[in-house]
Amino acid sequence: MTQYKDSTIKNDIKKAQKVGDWKYLSPEIDAKKCIGCGNCISFCPEAAIKIRQNIHPEKNKNSKGIASVDMDWCKGCGVCAVECPTHAITMKKVN
Amino acid sequence: MNQELTKKLAPGHTTCAGCGIPVIVRTILGATKDPVIVSNATGCLEVTTTIYPYTAWKIPYIHSAFENAAATISGVEAAQKALLKKAKLKKSAKGGSAFGGKAKLVVFGGDGGTYDIGLQSLSGALERGHEFLYVCYDNGGYMNTGGQRSGGTPLGANTETEPAGLDSFGKSRNRKDLMEIVKSHGIKYLAQANVAYPNDLAMKAKKALETKGPSFLLVLQPCTNLWKFPTSRYVRLGRLATETNFWPLYEIEKGNYVINYVNKNPKKVEEFLKEQGRFKHLFEEKNKKVIKEIQKSVNGNWKKLVEMSGSK
C-alpha cells in the first residue's frame, strides 16, 4: 500500500481552474437593498456568496448582514440576480 | 467562497455557469454531520469535478465506471462492515477523517447512469439491501456529451439522437417511471425532489441518510445548456416543473405515499415547455397535438399519485 500513498489526489485550491474568468456578466450588490436573507446563497452553484457584516448600518437599517460575492469563483450565471427577493443584485457587463 | 458550504465540495469545478448539480450535492451532503464516502457514476458531475490535477472533492471519492456506481458502493459498504467487525473502525463517528468511524455512503449518478446504463447494478444493490443513499440528478439526457436521449428524456424533446424535423417531433416515447421501478424493490425510503426547493431536498436527504438499508432520491436538475434556456433560470425552470405538476414532489416511506407540494390550480404544462429551446418545435401548428399528449400524461400521473397517497 505504501507506494500508492502519495498518488492520492487531494483537494488543492491552488490547482483549480480560474473559473471566475469565464464571466461576461458580473453581479453587483446594492447594499441599501440587501436584506441578508441568504436566498442567493442556497442557489449559487459555486457557493461563492456569503453574508458579511453590514459595515454601514446607517445606509441600510433593515439588515445586519449583506451578501458578498467571491469573484474568483463566480461564473456570472446570474441566478442570484433572478432569485433575489428585493432585486438587490444586478448583472453588469464585465469590461 | 462560502466556508460553510464548501466543506465537502469546493468551488473550482467546471460545471456550466448556472448549473444546479453542485447545489444538489451540497444540499444533500450538508444534511449529515457524519463522514461521507461518495461514489459517482460517469456524467456531468464526474467530468467537471475531477479535472486532473485538481479535484473539487474534499471527502473520499470513487469513480470506477458508468454502469457500476451502485456496485462500487456495495463493495465499500461490505468492506466497512468487515472492518467494523474487526474493530478497526470505531463504531461511533464524531467528525474527523472518514476512515475514523462509520461513514455514510452516497452515490451520485445522472439520469443516463441511472435510468439506462447503471440500472442493473442499482437494482442489484437495492435488492441486496446495502445501506447507502443513491441520488439520481435527472437532467433528462446525456448532457455532458451533447444531449443524446436517455430513458429520462420527456416526450417531445429535441435531442441529438432523436432530433425534431419534418417527420419527427423529437423524442417519441414517454419517460420511464423510475420511481416505480425503484419502489418495487421494497426499499424503505425513496423520494422525488427538485433542486429549486432546497429545504424540501434537505429534509428528504436527512430522512434518506437516516434510513437503515438502501434509500433513493430522484432530483430534477434543469440543464441550462441543452434544455436551452438562459443561465440565470435553472431555479425558475425547476419551480415551473413542479408548479405544472410535471415534476411532483413526493416521498414513499415504507410504501406510503406523501405528496409534499400540492398546487390547487396547477399551471398548464405549456408554461414549462415554452421556456425551453428543446421544446420550441412543439409550438408549430403540426406538433400541437404533442403538447396535448404531454398534458394528458402529466394529468394522468398526478391523478395516479393522488390516488396512491389517499389524499383528495
Is A61 a member of any domain? Answer: yes
| Amino acid (one-letter) located at B300 | G
Residues 48-77 of A with CB under 8 A from B: 48-50, 70, 72-73, 75-77
Decide if A41 and B14 are in contact by the 8 Å CB cutoff.
no
Domain that holds residue B179: 5-309
- Kindly tell me the burial class for residue B311, based on how many C-beta atoms sit within 10 Å of its own C-beta (0-12, 13-18, 19 or more): exposed
Q: How many domains does chain A have?
A: 1
- CATH (domain of B188): 3.40.50.970
Q: Strand, helix or coil at B160?
A: coil
Query: CA-to-CA distance for A31 and B202, rounded, in angstroms?
Result: 29
Task: Please check whether residue B234 touches A, CB under 8 A.
Answer: yes
Is A92 a member of any domain? Answer: yes
Query: pLDDT tens digits, chain B, 312 residues: what are they?
Result: 888 899 999 999 999 999 999 999 999 999 999 899 999 999 999 999 999 889 999 999 999 899 999 999 999 999 988 888 776 665 555 544 445 568 999 999 999 999 999 999 999 999 999 999 999 999 999 999 999 999 999 999 999 999 999 999 999 999 999 999 999 999 999 999 999 999 999 999 999 999 999 999 999 999 999 999 999 999 999 999 999 999 999 999 999 999 999 989 999 999 999 999 999 999 999 999 999 999 999 999 999 999 999 865
Of A22, A73, A76, the CB nearest to B11: A73
Query: CA-to-CA distance for B104 and B49, rounded, in angstroms?
Result: 20
- A30-67 b/e with 16+ CB inside 10 Å = b? ebebbbbbebbbbbbbbbbbbbeebeeeeebeebebbb
Rounded to the nearest angstrom, the minimum Cα separation between B12 and chain A is 5
Is A8 a member of any domain? Answer: no
Nearest residue of chain B to residue A22 (CA atoms): B17
Write the ipTM: 0.91
pTM recorded for the entire structure: 0.93
Q: How many domains does chain B have?
A: 1
Which whole number is the average pLDDT over A63-88? 93
Domain that holds residue A86: 29-95
Decide if B12 and A50 are in contact by the 8 Å CB cutoff.
no
Is A17 a member of any domain? Answer: no
Query: What's the longest Cα–Cα distance across chain B?
Result: 68
Least Cα distance to B40 among B103, B141, B109 occurs for B109
